[in-house]
Each structure stands twice: as structure tokens, then as C-alpha cells.
Amino acid sequence: MNNFTGKTVWITGASSGIGAALAHILAAKGAKLILSARSVDKLEAIRQSCHSPDDHFCLDLDLVDPNSIDAAWNRLQNIPRVVDILINNAGMTQRSPVLETRMEVYRHLLEVNFMAAVDLTRKVLPGMIERGAGQIVAVSSLMGKFASPQRSGYAAAKHALQGFMDSLSAEVHAAGIRVLVASPGFVNTDVSRNALRGDGTLHGKMDPEQAAAISAENCAEQIVAAMVKGRAEVFPGGKERIGLLLHRISPALLRRVMRKLKVE
């Protein structure tokens, strides 16, 4: 995937953060975008700010609602485009201990971070297989590799996403379809402000680690570079990526570190 010119790229969570940054980069490389999120007004602003805005369109989508996903897919059938690349970028995290987290919050996190990506992937996959080409990108997290306190639902969903994409990659590689899992560490976006507390309300503040993290643009550039190279994984981020090394060479040490980690 070294030429995005004329390729149709569907990006979820495109109204801000990493999704918006991906939109700007891919549009500048000649891609035609399908931009999805809940806020049509924000999506429209992103579309207008992209290179060649008339080549792109907005498709409102609520990933918590399977009916919304079906409706969006049905709308796409009336548009003369095939989806060459799907970027499952939308996601939501949490800030709450297990015993203080309601079951509906866990279900919400699983729907946004895992089930919706599975649903969208299954919708675009038959066409890709028929054409013998395509790319599925999942924006996961380091929490899909290991977990920290007060992220139980988020980590569980991202672990599930990682497992699904690993299995998918093995199934479709021979059909000419490439699968990339991007697992960023901290990225300077509003993800911590939008994190769910145990009762479903918003965390509402920027975490210090988030504020000091790499930019969404930096993260998106690394993801696009990995797409071009046909890589299976990429890990944008900073020093927090040492957790990957600890997970590989000393899981016991990583567990001790996580037990001492203070999370607000």
C-alpha cells in the first residue's frame, strides 16, 4: 500500500484526535475519505480542512448502536465507491476501579472498542476478498498488550481487538489483504477527558501523561508509514513503551510496577 491516490479510506472517530490527523495526512496523499463519527458538524469541519474536500464525505455513525452501523453501511451501498482501506480508529477509555464500574459501562466500552470494529470489518471484508486487495487498520493501545489499574474494561476490549485482528490477519493474508494493529502509548488528545468513570459520567480532565505525550499528528504519521510498509504492528508513543519490553522479558516485574502505579 504505497499509493493512496484514488483509494477510498473509511476512518471512524474522524472528528478529532488521531482520526482527524489521519484524515489530513491521507487526503494530502490523494485518498478519498469516508469520515465517520457521531458529530456531523465536527466531521464537516474536518472534511473542509482536508486537501480536496469535495473528494470526501461525512457519514454519521454511533458505534454503540448496531442499528446505526447497519444504517451507515446501507447508505454506503448507494454511493459508487468501494472501501479499499478501513481504519477502525474510534475508541473510548475509562478511569474507574473494577468494583466501582457499572456493567453498562463495560458493555459500552466493549461495543465502542471491539464489537463495532468487528462489525465494520465483517462488512467491508467480502468486497476486499473479491477484489484481492485491501487493508484493515485497527487503532488499539498499549493496553491491548498489557494492562494498568482503572482500565479493566478498556484493556479487556483492546486485548480482544488485538486477538481478533491477529486471527483475521492469518485468515486473509493469502487473499491479498493486509492487517495493521497500531498500539499507541500516550497521545495528546482528548481521550482522557472523554474517559468514562464507573457511573458512566465523563472523567472530564486531561491526564498529565496525556498532556506531555506525542501529538496526534506524530502518531498518525507513524501509522500511515506502517500502512505504506505493510507492517502488522506499530507502537507510537514515548517512554511508556518500555512496558512492552518488560512484558516480554519479565512479566512478573511488570506486574509489580503496575501494582505500585498511582492512577487518578
CA 92 – CA 243 distance, rounded (Å): 21
Residue 94: count of CB within 10 angstroms of its CB: 23
CB 26 within 8 A of CB 224: yes
Q: How far is CA 191 from CA 16, 46, 63, 64, in A?
A: 10, 18, 16, 17
Largest CA distance in the chain: 54
Q: Which amino acid is at 10?
A: W
- CA atoms within a 13 Å half-sphere pointing along the CA-CB vector of 230: 9
- Catalytic residue list: 154
Which helix (H) or strand (E) element contains residue 214?
Answer: strand 214-215
Residue 151: count of CB within 10 angstroms of its CB: 20
CA 225 – CA 185 distance, rounded (Å): 17
